[in-house]
Amino acid sequence: MLLRKGKKRRPREAEAVEKRPMFRDPRNFGLVVQTYQNQLFRYVYNMVHDHHLAEDLTQEVFAKVYRSLTSYNPKYPFSAWLLRIAHNHGIDYLRQKKLQTVSYDSVTNEETLHEASPEFHDTSARTAEDTTQRAIIQEAIYSLPVDYRSVIVLRYLGGTKLEEIAYILGIPMGTVKSRINRARQILQRLLAESKPGTRAP
Amino acid sequence: MSCTNVQNLIMPYLDGDLSKDESNAVEDHVQECRKCARDLDNSQYLSRLLKDNLDLPEAPKDLREAVIETVAEPGKDGG
Ligand SMILES: [Zn+2]
C-alpha cells in the first residue's frame, strides 16, 4: 500500500554535535570534519561530478567554515549552515568555469573526462542490472542543470526539509517546491526515454 | 478534495510533511480516483529510485587530516 517516509535520515552523531555549542570551539574542529565530511563531500561531488575536484573544493569549504565558526546562527541546523557554505563555494567555482547552466555531462565528455574518473564507473561490486539502472539514473541526475540537481540531491540525499533547502540555496520556499517538481518531471521523462521498463506519468 | 489539490499534496504526502487530516484526505481521494492514484504511485516510484541510486561516494580517507593541516597553518592565533 502507500508508504510514508517517516523519519529524516540524519546521523545520530550529527544531532549530538549540533546540540552542543562545542562545535563552535575551533579545538573541536576535527570532530566537525569527522562528522560532516561525507555529507559535504557528497554534496560537492554531486555538484561537480569529479572526485578530485570535489576533494579540493570540500577542503576549501572546511577552511571557510573554520574561519567563520563564530558567525554560525543556530536558527538553522549546523549541517544546513555547512551545506549553505558548500553550495555557495561550489556555485562560485562553477560560475568561474561558466558551467552553471550547462549539462555537466556534455562538458565532461569534451573537457575533463580524461582527467576525472567518476566514481559510478566503478561498478565491480554490483550486479549488471543494478549497475545499468544506477548508471541511467545517475546520468539523468547529472544531466540536470545544477539548480535542479541541487534540490534533488538535498531532498533525496539527506531528506533535507524544504525550509532548510531554501536556506541552503538562498531561494524562496516556493522556488524550492517548483524546482523539485520541475526536476522530477524532467527526470521522469529522461528515465522513461532511456528505459522502457520505467514508468512514465 | 479536488484532483489539483491532491496533485499539489502528493510530494509533501510522500515526504511525510502533511497533517493527519491532509494525509487522510489524500488517501481517501486516491481510493476513488485512478488518475491521482497512478500519479501518486509514479511519484513514489521515482522518489524510491532517486533515494536508492544517488551517487554517494565516501569522503577520501585523508580528507580530515588534510583539512586539519590546512586550518592549522599559521595566520590566526586561537589562544
Ligand atoms: Zn484525482
Residues A77-106: pLDDT tens digits? 999 999 999 999 999 999 888 654 554 444
- Determine whether the interchain pair B54/A156 forms a contact, defined as Cβ–Cβ distance below 8 Å: yes
Considering only CB atoms, A26 lies closest to which of B46, B57, B78, namely B78
CB-nearest partner of A38 from B23, B59, B76: B59
The set of cell numbers assigned to A88 is 555557495
Third-level CATH fold of B3-72: Arc Repressor Mutant, subunit A (1.10.10)
Q: Burial of B77 by CB count in 10 Å (0-12 exposed, 13-18 middle, 19+ buried)?
A: exposed
Q: Which cell goes with A182?
A: 520541475
The tens digit of pLDDT for each residue in A11-70 reads 454 544 455 556 667 778 888 999 999 999 999 999 998 999 999 999 999 999 999 988
Q: Do A34 and B67 touch (CB under 8 A)?
A: no
pLDDT at B77 over 60: no
What is the residue extent of each domain of chain B? Answer: 3-72
For domain A12-97, give the fold.
Rna Polymerase Sigma Factor; Chain: A (1.10.1740)
Separation between Cα atoms, residue A79 and residue A60, nearest integer Å: 16
The answer to whether B16 contacts chain A (CB < 8 Å) is yes
Q: Check CB contact of B66 with chain A, cutoff 8 Å.
A: yes
Residue B65 at interface with chain A, using a CB cutoff of 8 Å: no
Q: Please determine, looking at this structure, whether the domain spanning A110-194 carries the CATH number 1.10.10.10.
A: yes
Q: What is the dihedral of CA A35, A183, B55, A39, to 10 degrees?
A: -10
B16 and A5 within 8 Å at the Cβ level: the answer is yes
End-to-end CA distance of chain B: 62
A141 interaction partners in chain B (CB closer than 8 Å): 50, 54-55
C-alpha A27/C-alpha A55 separation (Å) is 23
Is the separation of the CB atoms in A29 and B69 below 8 Å?
A: no
Number of C-beta neighbours around residue A173 at 10 A: 12
pTM: 0.74
Q: Would the CB atoms of B59 and A40 count as touching at under 8 Å?
A: yes
Amino acid identity for residue A44 in this structure: V
